[in-house]
């Protein structure tokens, strides 16, 4: 008996394409053309591919550090599921707006992250304590969670040495960081992590609606602090009662 796997011969259109390289090439070109048109044509109905939305600001240094950790740990692969607490809050959780609308942030190849950051990581609906417990032991707060634990983040100091240069680079590609924000990156990093830091007020002037940490007397900033700051900022910049989703359509 032969150990080779037997495949049924192709028939109809499949057989025609397999036996005719010209038709196969034409079919590939047709599919690419259709796919390209589906992506490009809707753009002609927009005034701008980067919609300016009131209230959106660049990430704080701590949020930017959290964004880096979010990518590093593959958190953008969180499944997009219904939020079980949504009904208790009076409705479903609205997905984040597309990049350029709700985020003034670095570009990154993150698949559908802009639309699927995970239901429990959106719009500041959970406290810092909840986020902390969820990261350290996900199933202790959400029994059905399939997320791995990230307890090690609470013991890992943030490497903020590169953040100033990263902010300078991001400004080159269009993120509107000011000289003041860049010059105060190190100060703002520490100010956001502790609830009693003297620089908290100045931080919030430079970055409106920045969420301060809830732990007093912190002597160091951890990766857990950074990731929580990033998660707490997701989707809180836009007031959807005032947002006009038709304003950018021609």
Q: Is the pLDDT of residue 143 over 80?
A: yes
User: Tell me, what's the pLDDT at 137?
Assistant: 94
User: Tell me, what's the pLDDT at 132?
Assistant: 92
User: Tell me, what's the pLDDT at 121?
Assistant: 47
Q: Bridge partners of 157?
A: 222
Give tens-digit pLDDT for 5-19: 555 555 677 778 788
User: Tell me, what's the pLDDT at 77?
Assistant: 76
- Phi (first) and psi of residue 124, to 5 degrees: 60, 30
How confident is residue 110, by pLDDT bands cut at 50, 70 and 90?
very low
Q: Is the pLDDT of residue 4 over 80?
A: no
Q: Is the pLDDT of residue 72 over 90?
A: yes
CB-based contact 197:190 (threshold 8 Å) = yes
Stretch 116-126: mean pLDDT: 51
Q: Is the pLDDT of residue 247 over 60?
A: yes
Q: Is the pLDDT of residue 207 over 50?
A: yes
Tokens 């406290």 correspond to what residue? 127
Give tens-digit pLDDT for 210-240: 888 888 878 789 999 999 999 988 877 776 6
User: Tell me, what's the pLDDT at 163?
Assistant: 94
What is the full DSSP assignment across the chain?
---SPP-PPP-HHHHHHHH-HHHHHHHHHHHHHHHHHHHHGGGGGBS-SS---TT--BPPHHHHHHHHHHHHTTGGG------TTTGGGTSPPPPPPPTTTS-BS-----TTTTT-S-GGGSTT-S-HHHHHHHHH-HHHH-TT--PPP-GGGGGSB---TTHHHHHHHHHHTT----HHHHHTHHHHHHHHH-TT-TTHHHHHHHSTTPPPPS-TT-SS-BHHHHHHHHHHHTT-S--TTT--TTTTB-
Average pLDDT over the chain, rounded to an integer? 78
Q: Is the pLDDT of residue 93 over 50?
A: no
What is the full DSSP assignment across 19-32?
H-HHHHHHHHHHHH
Q: Is the pLDDT of residue 82 over 50?
A: no
How confident is residue 196, by pLDDT bands cut at 50, 70 and 90?
confident
- What are the structure tokens assigned to 206, written together? 């430079």
Cα 216 to Cα 50, 104, 209: the distances in Å are 39, 29, 19
CB-based contact 33:40 (threshold 8 Å) = no
Give tens-digit pLDDT for 30-44: 999 999 999 888 888
CB atoms within 10 A of CB 38: 9
Tokens 């048109």 correspond to what residue? 37
Q: Bridge partners of 249?
A: 46
């Amino acid at each position: 008996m032969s150990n080779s796997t037997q495949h049924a011969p192709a028939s109809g259109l499949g057989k025609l394409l397999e036996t005719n390289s010209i038709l196969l090439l034409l079919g590939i070109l047709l599919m690419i053309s259709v796919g390209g048109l589906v992506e490009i044509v809707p753009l002609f109905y927009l005034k701008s591919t980067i919609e300016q939305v009131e209230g959106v600001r660049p990430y704080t240094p701590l949020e930017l550090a959290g964004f880096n950790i979010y990518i590093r740990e593959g958190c953008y692969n969180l499944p997009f599921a219904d939020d079980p607490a949504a009904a208790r809050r009076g409705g479903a959780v609205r997905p984040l707006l597309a990049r350029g609308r709700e985020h003034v942030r670095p570009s990154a190849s993150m698949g559908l992250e802009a639309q699927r950051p995970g239901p429990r990581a959106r719009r500041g609906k959970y406290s810092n304590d909840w986020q902390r417990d969820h990261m350290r032991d996900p199933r202790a707060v959400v029994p059905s969670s399939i997320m791995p634990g990230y307890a090690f983040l609470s013991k890992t100091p943030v490497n903020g040495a590169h953040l100033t240069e990263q902010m300078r680079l991001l400004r080159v590609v269009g993120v509107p960081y000011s000289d003041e924000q860049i010059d105060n990156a190190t100060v703002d990093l520490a100010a956001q992590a502790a609830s009693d830091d003297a620089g908290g007020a100045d931080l919030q002037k430079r970055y409106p609606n920045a969420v301060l940490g809830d732990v007093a007397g912190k002597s160091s900033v951890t990766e857990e602090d950074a990731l929580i700051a990033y998660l707490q900022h997701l989707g809180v910049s836009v007031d959807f009662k005032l947002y006009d989703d038709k304003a950018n359509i021609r």
